Homo-oligomer: A and B are copies of this chain.
Amino acid sequence: MKLEKVALVGSGNWGSAIAKIIGNNVQLYPEFDNEVKMWVYEEFINGQKLTDIINEKNENVKYLPGIKLSSNIKAVPDLLETVRDATILVFVIPHQFVKGVCNQLKGQILPHAKAISLIKGFDVNETGICPMTEVIAKTLNINVSSLSGANIANEIAEENFSETTIGYRVREEGELYKRLFETPYFRVGIIDDVIGVELCGALKNVVAIAAGIIDGLRLGDNAKAAIIRIGLLEMKKFVQTFYRGIKEETFFESCGIADVITTSYGGRNRRVAEAFVITRKPFEHLEKELLAGQKLQGTLTAQEINHVLRRKGLENEYKLFTTVYRIAYQGLPPERLVKEII
């Protein structure tokens, strides 16, 4: 039997937390090759290459400090070398980079490779939104699954209990990925809904911006729960409006309700939005001040959604999404959030 060989395309905070899990799991099942290459966009830390530090210390000192990776994780600065012999590509990069990376990978991967995307976010074009799994699938002509859930990276790295959801198109691949990702503390549910799982992961960040605004306004737990509920319903309606075959159950999985909750209570979008209300500094300033190089996805996603909604004349049917956009980009005072959506 030919072994499955995993390559990690990405090595940020989430990518590194996942590297820890994958590095252990490939050693547990004989179907996997033990070596896992991880693509690291080269940076210099105090004059030393980040790849060298990771490979010496078995730790991503920049994006997941304090967490040991197993030694079979090999940081590689060259993208093509990372993926050359891989049968499973795990994409975990910011969604802005996906097209560029896929264009580089074209013709450079094994023809029978397959991929799973852990990316939050999507592209927008004239006809609507373009999920990252579709960008990857079309550019590389391979099967692509998705993974998304209530997954704040540091908590998983510390082995606190979490759940996640894998959306598959081919059941055997869903089951293979479950073996690759599941641990006693990281429970994987699988569902036949790649797009539903994936888009929840992107859209929830818009809800978290709204939740952070509620926190900044000190409106309390009822209001926050109401915002999360309204946001989840808009997510559901949006995904079901733009895609067929979306499962109702997806929204009861970790990628649905649980991820909206965890992101709205513990995530960085919430934190920056709360700071926005308190300081009134623009989101771009706060992103630089508070996120140490990480990207704020929620406002960007709100903008992308708004392009689609406006073009289709649907802004009024998605009041929460539209109001977050207007607060982030059009100077609408955050105090208006509740009034605009009720």
Which residues of chain A have a CB within 8 Å of any CB of chain B? Answer: 150-152, 155-156, 158, 160-163, 184, 187, 219-226, 228-229, 232-233, 236, 248, 252-254, 257-259, 261-262, 265-267, 338, 342
Smallest CB–CB gap between A252 and chain B, Å? 6
Secondary structure of the A contact surface, majority rule: helix
24 example contacts (A-B, Cβ-Cβ < 8 A) are as follows A150-B221, A150-B225, A151-B222, A152-B220, A152-B221, A156-B222, A160-B219, A160-B220, A163-B222, A163-B229, A221-B261, A224-B261, A224-B262, A224-B265, A225-B257, A225-B258, A225-B262, A226-B254, A226-B258, A229-B253, A229-B258, A232-B257, A257-B257, A265-B265
Copies in the complex: 2
**Could you tell me the distance between the alpha carbons of A162 and B219 in the complex, rounded to whole angstroms?**
9
- Of the candidates A158, A184, A258, A266, the one having the most CB atoms from chain B within 10 angstroms of its own CB is A258
Residues A252 and B223 in contact, CB atoms below 8 Å apart: no
Known A187-B342, A228-B258, A229-B254; judge A221-B161 contact (CB<8 A): no
Residues B226 and A338 in contact, CB atoms below 8 Å apart: no
Q: Contacts A221-B262, A225-B261, A236-B252 given; 16 further ones with Cβ under 8 A?
A: A150-B225, A150-B229, A155-B220, A155-B222, A158-B220, A161-B219, A161-B342, A187-B226, A221-B267, A225-B254, A226-B254, A228-B258, A229-B253, A229-B258, A232-B252, A257-B257
Inside 8 A of A160's CB, which chain B residues have their CB?
Answer: 219-220, 222-223
**Could you tell me the distance between the alpha carbons of A229 and B149 in the complex, rounded to whole angstroms?**
11
Inside 8 A of A254's CB, which chain B residues have their CB?
Answer: 225-226, 229
Inside 8 A of A236's CB, which chain B residues have their CB?
Answer: 252
**Could you tell me the distance between the alpha carbons of A220 and B266 in the complex, rounded to whole angstroms?**
8
Residues B265 and A161 in contact, CB atoms below 8 Å apart: no
Residues A229 and B248 in contact, CB atoms below 8 Å apart: no
Residues B257 and A222 in contact, CB atoms below 8 Å apart: no
For A226, give the chain B residue with the smallest CB separation. Answer: B163
Inside 8 A of A152's CB, which chain B residues have their CB?
Answer: 220-222
For A227, give the chain B residue with the smallest CB separation. Answer: B161
Residues B252 and A150 in contact, CB atoms below 8 Å apart: no
